[in-house]
Amino acid sequence: MISLTTYNDIPLLGFAAFSGTGKTTLLEQLIPELNQANIRIAMVKHTHHEKFDIDTPGKDSYRLRKAGAEQMLVASAKRWALMVEQPLKQPLPENLPDPDLFELLPHLDLEKTDLILVEGFKHEPISKIELHRPRLGKPLLYPGDPNIIAIASDQSLHEKPSCSSLDLNNITEISNFITELL
């Protein structure tokens, strides 16, 4: 039986693939399926964009953050988001290191979480499902990554992996695989 990586007893499952494979699209379809199984999801997403904003330039929260607030919590009756500026003591290096997943996880409310899904962070030592589309011409991350527990592909793989194989286009199959792991 496969056991998932955990963080404070909460299962942690990553989705790893090269850019353009469809990680976000898959997760947009998968999360509602998992919710229907009464699994409360916390999501952590890695972005390669150096700068990003979740609010609109010109809005109050944006203006206050730009004015120098190192932490900006935006809240409404329906959602809230915390943006934290990472002040740099020197100019940005060309190859700025990625954020550390395990430094981000303490910000999650684990009382409201049954499963933490992680998009990206493919080099982190966590259980992962690899998404693979052979037509993109990218190599498999498996077997080079011992944390890959399944490969979801839109075509049959040339060699049968020792981990589970899933149909990338079958959300129910992927959801059932995850639910059985939990």
Q: List, for residues 34-43, the tens digit of each pLDDT value.
A: 999 999 999 9
For the entire predicted model, the pTM comes to 0.86
Instruction: Please determine, for residue 5, whether its predicted confidence score (pLDDT) is greater than 70.
Output: yes
Domain count, the chain: 2
The 3-state DSSP class for residue 134 equals helix
Report yes or no: 43 and 31 within 8 Å, Cβ to Cβ. yes
Show the domain range for 149: 5-46+98-181
- What is the C-alpha separation between 119 and 25, in angstroms, rounded? 11
Coil, strand or helix: which one is 135? helix
For the segment 117-135, what is each residue's pLDDT rounded down to a tens digit? 999 888 899 999 999 999 9
Asked whether residue 32 falls in the same domain as residue 21, the answer is yes
Cβ atoms of residues 117 and 131 within 8 Å: no
